[in-house]
C-alpha cells in the first residue's frame, strides 16, 4: 500500500484507456482487474490509482489545453477519413463559442434521410456548461439516426429554444416522418447517457460521442440483416398491401399492416361529387372502455390527378397509408 510500491503496468494502462474510451466506469475497470488476479490484494495498485491515471493522463482538464486537443483530435479524424467534417468558432480571446462535427456515416445518412431533421438542444451540458445538441433524422427502419452534433453558446441555444412557438398543427400536411413528438429526443438521450456525463471535457465528450455513433451503426446493420433473412407475410390478398411489402422495411411494414387491418373498422357513409373530385365521408368504429365510438373522416379523391387526401393527413405526415 506504500506509494513507492504501487505501479500500473503497461498492459493495465492500455486496458484502463480502452475501458475509459468505451465509457466503462473506473470502479468497474478496477473490479475486473481484481477479479482477473484473484482479488484486490493481488494487485499492485488501488482503485484511486486507476482514477488518478484517467484524470491525469487520459482526460484533458485545462480550459486552455482542451480546445487545442479537440482541434488535434478533429484533425486526426479528418486525416483518417476526408469525409469527416468539423468547424470550430472561437471568439477574440480564442475561447470556443461553437463547435460542429459530422463523421462520414452521419454525412451519408444525411444524403438518404435528411428530408426531415430535428434540432435537439435539450441534452445535458458538459464541464464548460456549453449546451450539447444533435441533428437527428429518421432512417428506413423508423429509427432515429444521427446527422451531426454540436456545442453552442447560450445565445445560440436561446434562439433554438424559441422554436416551441412553431405550432405543429399548422404543418400537419407536411412530411414529418413521425417526429412531431419528443419520442426521438428521449430515445437518443438514452443512448448518450450510456457514454456521456456532465463532467466530461470537450475532448472526452467528443470521443465518447463516437461510441454513440458506432452503437447506432450497429443497430441499423442488425435491422438490415433482419430484413435480408425474410419478409413479414401479408395479412390479405390486396395488391396494395403486397406493394407496401416490397417497398418498406419490415419495421415500417408492421406499421402499415396495423393501419391496413384497421380498414375493416371503416365504413363509407356517403360519396359526393365536387367538380373533378369525389368526397367520401368515412366513419371509423373504435372501442373505448368497452364502448363503441365513431370518428368521421373526409377523404377527397381527385379524378384528374388521382391524388387522395384524408383530413387525418397521416400519409402526408408519416408516410403510412
Q: Is the pLDDT of residue 189 over 80?
A: no
Under 8 Å between Cβ of 316 and 174: yes
Domain regions of the chain by residue span:
10-61, 64-224, 230-264, 265-320
pLDDT in tens, 233-264: 998 898 989 999 999 999 899 988 998 888 88
User: Rounded to whole angstroms, how far apart are CA atoms 82 and 47?
Assistant: 40
pLDDT range class, residue 60, cuts 50, 70, 90:
very low
Number of C-beta neighbours around residue 46 at 10 A: 14
* Rounded average pLDDT over 128-141: 82
Q: Is the pLDDT of residue 1 over 60?
A: yes
Chain centroid offset of residue 176 CA: 15
User: Rounded to whole angstroms, how far apart are CA atoms 67 and 74?
Assistant: 11
| pTM over cut 0.85 | no
More confident: 168 or 103: 103
More confident: 23 or 168: 23
Sheet holding 291-302, edge to edge: 266-274, 277-288, 291-302, 308-310
* Rounded average pLDDT over 181-200: 65
Phi, psi of 122 (to 5 degrees): -95, 0
In DSSP notation, 1-21 reads --GGG----HHHHHHHHHHHH
pLDDT in tens, 271-320: 999 889 999 999 999 888 889 899 999 999 999 999 988 988 888 888 88
Amino acid at each position: 500500500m506504500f506509494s513507492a510500491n504501487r505501479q500500473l503496468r503497461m498492459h493495465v494502462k492500455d486496458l484502463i484507456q480502452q475501458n475509459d474510451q468505451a465509457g466503462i466506469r473506473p470502479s468497474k475497470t478496477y473490479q475486473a482487474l481484481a477479479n482477473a488476479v484473484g482479488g484486490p490484494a493481488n494487485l499492485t495498485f488501488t482503485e484511486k490509482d486507476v482514477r488518478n491515471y484517467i484524470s491525469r493522463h487520459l482526460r484533458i482538464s485545462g480550459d486552455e489545453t482542451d480546445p487545442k486537443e479537440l482541434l488535434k483530435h478533429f484533425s486526426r479524424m479528418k486525416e483518417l477519413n476526408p469525409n469527416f467534417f468539423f468547424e470550430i468558432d472561437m471568439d477574440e480571446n480564442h475561447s470556443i463559442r461553437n463547435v460542429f462535427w459530422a463523421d462520414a456515416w452521419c454525412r451519408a445518412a444525411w444524403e438518404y434521410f435528411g428530408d426531415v431533421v430535428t434540432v435537439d438542444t435539450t441534452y445535458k451540458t458538459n464541464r464548460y456548461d456549453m449546451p450539447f445538441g444533435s441533428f437527428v433524422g429518421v432512417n428506413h427502419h423508423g429509427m432515429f439516426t444521427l446527422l451531426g452534433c454540436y456545442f453552442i453558446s447560450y445565445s445560440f441555444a436561446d434562439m433554438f429554444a424559441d422554436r416551441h412557438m412553431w405550432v405543429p398543427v399548422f404543418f400537419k400536411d407536411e412530411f414529418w416522418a413521425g417526429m412531431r413528438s419528443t419520442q426521438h429526443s428521449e430515445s437518443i438521450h438514452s443512448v448518450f447517457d450510456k457514454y456521456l456525463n456532465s463532467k466530461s471535457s470537450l475532448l472526452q465528450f467528443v470521443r465518447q460521442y463516437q461510441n454513440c455513433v458506432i452503437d447506432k451503426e450497429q443497430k441499423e446493420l442488425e435491422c438490415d440483416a433482419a430484413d435480408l433473412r425474410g419478409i413479414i407475410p401479408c395479412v390479405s390478398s390486396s395488391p396494395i398491401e403486397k406493394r407496401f411489402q416490397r417497398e418498406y422495411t419490415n419495421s415500417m411494414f408492421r406499421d402499415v399492416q396495423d393501419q391496413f387491418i384497421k380498414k375493416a373498422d371503416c365504413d363509407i357513409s356517403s360519396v359526393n361529387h365536387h367538380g373533378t373530385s369525389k368526397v367520401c365521408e368515412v366513419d371509423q368504429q373504435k372501442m373505448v372502455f368497452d364502448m363503441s365510438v365513431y370518428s368521421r373522416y373526409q377523404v377527397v379523391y381527385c379524378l384528374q390527378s388521382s391524388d387522395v387526401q384524408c383530413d387525418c393527413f397521416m400519409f402526408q405526415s408519416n408516410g403510412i397509408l
